[in-house]
C-alpha cells in the first residue's frame, strides 16, 4: 500500500494515453488528513522542468494537499506553453478535489521537449480520471503509473510507534547526485509540522538518494516530496522520525539501483578512513563515475588499478601509496601495492562490494552505482525513437 499505508491518504493511477505502451501514466496522491504539512527536495540542475519550478512555489509555505504525477513526458524545455500546462494541471486537480491550485504539487517524467496540445489534453483528462479513481488501495496503481524505463514499481513502508511512513519511487536511469531522474512521494500519518518534515527529508536524502550515482547524469525533473496527515495523532520523537524516513529512503534508493537501466551488477562503494565526510563522498563518487572501472566490473574483472586511478583525480586528503582496496571481501591492494591475487575475487554475482580505506581519518561514506553494460548503451541510444 506504499503511499496509502499512512492514514489519511488516497491514491490512484490511470491510463491517459501518454505512453505508447498503453500502460498507466498519470498518478494522483491526496492528503485528506487533519494536517497538510509538506516538505520537498528538488533537482540541483540549473535546467529545471516546469513542474519543478511550479512545485517549488507550492511547497514554499510548507503546505500541500495533493500531488499529481505523469510519465510519458518531462514537460521540460517546452517554453511558456509548458508552464501553462503545469498550471492548468494543478488547477484541474484543484477543481476536482475542491482545494487550492496553490496546494497541488505537479511532477512529470519522460522525454525532454515533449509538450504540445495533445500532451496537455491527455495530462488534464488523466488528472480528472485519477481524481475519480482515488482509493486507499490505490498505492500500487500510482507507483505503476509513474514508471518510465522502470521494469517494476518501487514501494516501501516503515512502521514507527503508532505511526508509519510509506513511499513510492520511480527511476532507472540518470541516477546521479542532486537526486536522480526520479519522482518520489513519501507519506506519513505522524503529526509533524513542516519544519520537522524538512529536517527529516533533507537529512535522509543526503545519505540515500544523493549517494545513488548510477550513470553520473543529472535529471531536470527530480522531486522528492514528504507529506504528513497527522491522522495517527502521534507526535513522534524527532530522531526516531528522522531515522524512519532515512530507512524508507534507503530502501527505495536500493530498489532504484537494482532496477537501473541495463545493469548486471549492483556496486556498493564503501569509503572508510577519510579525513572528512566530504572527502569520503568525493572519492566514492569518483569511482562510481569512472567508466573504465564500471566496464571492468561488467566484465567480472577486479581491476583495482582503475579504482586507484579514479580516486587520484580527487582533492581528498590521502596518500595514494597508503591506500587499501578490497573487492567482495578480498584485499587486492595494500598500501598502494598488490596484495591478494585478482583471481581470488569472484565478481560473477550481481552484488559487488568495493571497500577503500584511505587511512587518513575516521570518516566514511557509501555510494551506490552500477556497471556499464551493452544494454545500458542500447537502451539510451534509442530512448527517443
Report, as residue numbers or ranges, the catalytic residues: 181
Q: How far apart are CA 102 and CA 280, in angstroms?
A: 40
Cell of 248: 524508507
**Helix (H) / strand (E) containing 352:** strand 351-357
Q: How far apart are CA 310 and CA 93, in angstroms?
A: 48
CA–centroid distance for 30 within its chain:
20
Helices and strands per DSSP (H, E), number in the chain: 10, 15
Q: How far apart are CA 180 and CA 218, in angstroms?
A: 6
Give me the phi and psi of 223, to 5 degrees please: -145, 130
Q: How far apart are CA 257 and CA 176, in angstroms?
A: 11
Q: How far apart are CA 207 and CA 226, in angstroms?
A: 16
Cell of 76: 521540460
The residues that bridge with 268 in the sheet, in sequence order, are: 353, 368
- Give the largest CA-CA distance in the chain: 67
Q: Tell me how far CA of residue 268 lies from CA of 208, 355, 358, in angstroms.
A: 12, 8, 16
Query: For 65, which DSSP code?
Result: S
Strand order in the sheet with 266-274: 337-338, 330-334, 324-327, 351-357, 266-274, 363-370
Q: How far apart are CA 98 and CA 327, in angstroms?
A: 56
Q: How far apart are CA 226 and CA 111, in angstroms?
A: 25
Structural contact between residues 350 and 341, judged by C-beta atoms closer than 8 angstroms: no
Amino acid at each position: 500500500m506504499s503511499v496509502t499505508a499512512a492514514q489519511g491518504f488516497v491514491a490512484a493511477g490511470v491510463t491517459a494515453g501518454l505512453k505508447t505502451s498503453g500502460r498507466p501514466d498519470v498518478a494522483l496522491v491526496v492528503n485528506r488528513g487533519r494536517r497538510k504539512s509538506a516538505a520537498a527536495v528538488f533537482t540541483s540542475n540549473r535546467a529545471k522542468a516546469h513542474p519543478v519550478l511550479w512545485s517549488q512555489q507550492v511547497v514554499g509555505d510548507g503546505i500541500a494537499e495533493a500531488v499529481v504525477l505523469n510519465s510519458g513526458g518531462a514537460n521540460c524545455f517546452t517554453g511558456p506553453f509548458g508552464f501553462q500546462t503545469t498550471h492548468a494541471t494543478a488547477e484541474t486537480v484543484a477543481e476536482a478535489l475542491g482545494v487550492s491550485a496553490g496546494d497541488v504539487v505537479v511532477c512529470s517524467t519522460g522525454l525532454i521537449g515533449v509538450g504540445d496540445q495533445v500532451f496537455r489534453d491527455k495530462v488534464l483528462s488523466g488528472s480528472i480520471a485519477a481524481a475519480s479513481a482515488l482509493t486507499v488501495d490505490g498505492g500500487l496503481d500510482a507507483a505503476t503509473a509513474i514508471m518510465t524505463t522502470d521494469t517494476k514499481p518501487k514501494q516501501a513502508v516503515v512502521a514507527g510507534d503508532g505511526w508509519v511512513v510509506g513511499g513510492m519511487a520511480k527511476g532507472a536511469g540518470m541516477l546521479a547526485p542532486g537526486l536522480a531522474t526520479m519522482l518520489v512521494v513519501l507519506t506519513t500519518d505522524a503529526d509533524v509540522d513542516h519544519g520537522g518534515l524538512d529536517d527529516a527529508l533533507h537529512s535522509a536524502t543526503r545519505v540515500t538518494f544523493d549517494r545513488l550515482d548510477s550513470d553520473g547524469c543529472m535529471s531536470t525533473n527530480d522531486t522528492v516530496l514528504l507529506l504528513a496527515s497527522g491522522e495517527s495523532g502521534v507526535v513522534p520523537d524527532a530522531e526516531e522520525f528522522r531515522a524512519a524516513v532515512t530507512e524508507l529512503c534507503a530502501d527505495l534508493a536500493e530498489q532504484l539501483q537494482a532496477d537501473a537501466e541495463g545493469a548486471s551488477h549492483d556496486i556498493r562503494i564503501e569509503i572508510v578512513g577519510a579525513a572528512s565526510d566530504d572527502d569520503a563522498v568525493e572519492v566514492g563518487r569518483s569511482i562510481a563515475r569512472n567508466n573504465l572501472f564500471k566496464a571492468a566490473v561488467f566484465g567480472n574483472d577486479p581491476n583495482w588499478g582503475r579504482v586507484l586511478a579514479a580516486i587520484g583525480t580527487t582533492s581528498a586528503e590521502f596518500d595514494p601509496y597508503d591506500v587499501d582496496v578490497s573487492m567482495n571481501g578480498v584485499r587486492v591492494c595494500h598500501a598502494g601495492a598488490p596484495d591478494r591475487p585478482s583471481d581470488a575475487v569472484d565478481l560473477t554475482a550481481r552484488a559487488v562490494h568495493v571497500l577503500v580505506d584511505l587511512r587518513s581519518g575516521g570518516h566514511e561514506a557509501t555510494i551506490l552505482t552500477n556497471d556499464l553494460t551493452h544494454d545500458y548503451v542500447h537502451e539510451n541510444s534509442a530512448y527517443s525513437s
